[in-house]
Structure formats: structure tokens, C-alpha cells
Structure 1
Amino acid sequence: MEDESFDVDALIDGLIEREGGYVNHPADKGGPTCFGITEAVARAHGFAGPMKALPRDEATTIYRRLYWLRPRFDQVARRSSRVAGEHFDTGVNMGPAVATTFLQRALTALNRNAKDYADLTPDGRVGPLTLHALDAYLQTRGKRGGETVLMRALEALQAERYLRLAERRPANEAFLYGWLANRIGAIG
């Protein structure tokens, strides 16, 4: 069951605060954003106005639908609100499939050569096998300690990807400091 104290609205509000309002950075391949929502995503979900005018409540709706419910991160929250929060934040910044691949890779690496649960195929989808592995991991390692180690693994994968993005595309160096300062360790 989802943690009683878990509040997805607070998670989304915190994300929107970190993302800020309208931004149109010349080095950002995603183009203009508002509250962290790209213009392409806003358009795909029916917003036709100027990005500067994207209503905050519309951004909240998009985050809930595309980055929480559709990728089934709510199911992760039923097991661990800390992991779900990290998973959500990474999913917003890198895509839900990338975030889920990180979770699947970390769970596989932490299963003690499949003694605790079967290896996962990193397919980027939260399904029954991923949820079973997360349940088994938390049961085996203990909720608090297990969450802490899993969070470290997820953040390590995220940080490595940020460094790789900056190495492969020098224009991304404009964002690296902020990514590391505001994304790694921001949740949980």
C-alpha cells in the first residue's frame, strides 16, 4: 500500500519549483519550456498558446498523467515513496523509460547473482517482474537500508548519464552543474 504520508501533489509542486517558469535557453535542444514542460509535450497534450502562458495547473496535469500514472510510478510508490520520488524526478528529466531502466539495472545488480530474485531485462517498463523484484529487494535488504542503497545506485546511474551527455555534446556543459546540484540527491 502507498505510504500514508506520500503526496504526489507535493512531489509535483516541488519539481515545478525546481524547474522554474518559462525558459528558452539557446543550448537546450528541447526548446522553450515552462515549469519544465517542453513545447512539444505541451502541444501534444493540447496546449496551443505561447509557452510563457502555460498554466501551472496544466503542467501539473501533464506531469501526473505522463510522468506518474502512465509509466506506473504510482505502483513503485506503493512499495517505496523515496524510490518513487527519485524515479519520477529522473523520469521527468531523462524520460520515464530511462528512469525505469536505471531501476531495473540497479535491482539486477543488487540481487546477489539472482539469489534474491530473478535478473530483470532493462526494458524501461514498470511491470510485474520489476515490481516483484523491488518487493523482494526491500524485503531482503530491509526497507530503510535497502531504500538508501537503491537510491545511491539510482543517483550514480543518473550522474554518470549527465556526465556522458556533457562529454558527448559540449553545449550540455551549460546544464551539467545545475543537473548535478538540483537533481542528484534532491529527493528523499
Structure 2
Amino acid sequence: MPRPDPLTADADALIDAVIDREGRYVNHPADRGGPTCWGISEAVARAQGYDGAMRELPRTAAASIYRSVYWLRPAFDRVALRAPKIAAELFDTGVNMGTGTATGFLQRALNALNRAARDYPDIAVDRAIGPRTLSALDGLLKARGRGGETVLLRAMEALQGERYIALAERRPSQEAFLYGWLANRIGDG
């Protein structure tokens, strides 16, 4: 019997964890994304071809959407080959804030950590993972070793936390979610 691909298993575990955390159907009045099921918004479900009632979105359909839209399309699987903790953070942040925002946090943090481009060149903050972003990540890991992954993760979480607080300050209705975001999306949660 073939052994499972460890990266697939990691993606499966990440997807299962986010589905468990997000839960079944929710339609919170302060959530600008509207109804969700398993954490998948109605707009995303419809864009992926689901046309049934959101309350009835199958867990397997949600898992498929997470894999294609929030793991493979933004190339987080390619990051996982180099830095699994960073890939896990990108996935979770991407689910909550959008994959472009998550990738932007990675790119900004990589630029700030390159010691004035001595370790690797600055990269464009274009919110897409491509060869230059992956090369910069490789450069950080080469220059800083495995400790570099931990520091990069902290920098990304700091950017994420600041964004949550700014969002709650700009839109007081979002304060309903701030505690949960900080408790469950930053650090070990």
C-alpha cells in the first residue's frame, strides 16, 4: 500500500482543523461576508460551482474548496516544501483575510528581515507567490536557519494582529470578532 504524501497529509490536517474551528452554518449579522458553512462564504461556494443551500454545504465540498482555492491556487503547497509553519500560517490567514493579504504579510516580512538586502534582494509586495518570493524565503532560511522560520512567523502574526485591531477600530461592528481572531488566529491559539 503506498504511503501518503506528507505534504498532502499536512494539507488535510490544516483543512480539517479550519473546518472544525469554523463549524457548520453561521449567518452572523456583523459578518460582512454573509452566510458561511464550514467557514466557506456563500460567494466563494457559488464561485466554485456550489448552488445548493448554504446550510447543506457538504463538508467534503468545503474541504475541496479549501484545497483548491486556499492551498493550491496561491501556491502555499510550494511554501510548505520549504517552511511548513509558514505555509500553515499562510493558509489560516488566507482563509480569514484572503490569500493575497496573507501573501502580502509574507512578502513584507521577508523584505524587512533581509538586512537591507544583504541576505537576499527585496521583492515586490504583489500578493502572489512566485519564483522571487520563494527565492527570498530560501534566502532567509539559508541566512538564518530554522530559527528564521520562527522569526518570520512572528513577523507575519504581528502584521496580522495589527490588521485585526485596525479593522475593529475602523468598523466597531467588527469588535464582535476581535477577541476570537486574536485568541484563535494568532500564535498557538
TM-score range for the pair, normalised by the shorter chain length: over 0.9
CA displacement 1:128-167 (0-9 Å, x = unmatched): 0000000010111012x11110110010000000001101
1:84 paired residue number: 87
SS of residue matched to 1:7? helix
Say if 2:7 and 2:80, in contact at 8 Å, map to a contact too.
Answer: no
1:26 paired residue number: 29
1:42 paired residue number: 45
Q: Residue 174 in 1 paired to residue 189 in 2? A: no
Match of 2:152 among 128, 150, 153: 150
RMSD: 1.5
Q: Residue 70 in 1 paired to residue 70 in 2? A: no
Separation in 2, partners of 1:168, 1:4: 38
Say if 2:106 and 2:156, in contact at 8 Å, map to a contact too.
Answer: yes
Separation in 2, partners of 1:79, 1:85: 12
Q: Using the TM superposition, give the Cα deviation of residue 186 of structure 1 relative to its aligned residue in structure 2, in angstroms.
A: 3.9
| Structure 2: tracts of 5 or more residues without a match | none
Q: 1:186 to 1:55 in 2, by over 3 A?
A: farther
2:131 paired residue number: 128
Separation in 2, partners of 1:5, 1:58: 17
| Structure 1: tracts of 5 or more residues without a match | none
Please report the TM-score for the alignment, with normalisation by the length of structure 1.
0.95
1:153-164 to 2 correspondence within 5 Å? Answer: 153-164=155-166
Say if 1:163 and 1:176, in contact at 8 Å, map to a contact too.
Answer: yes
Q: 1:146 to 1:3 in 2, by over 3 A?
A: farther
Separation in 1, partners of 2:33, 2:8: 34
Q: 1:34 to 1:172 in 2, by over 3 A?
A: same
Separation in 2, partners of 1:17, 1:88: 15
Q: Using the TM superposition, give the Cα deviation of residue 48 of structure 1 relative to its aligned residue in structure 2, in angstroms.
A: 1.1
User: What is the one-letter code of the residue matched to 2:55?
Assistant: K
1:8-19 to 2 correspondence within 5 Å? Answer: 8-19=11-22
Q: Structure 1: which 4+ aligned runs deviate by more than 3 Å?
A: 2-6
Separation in 1, partners of 2:49, 2:8: 33
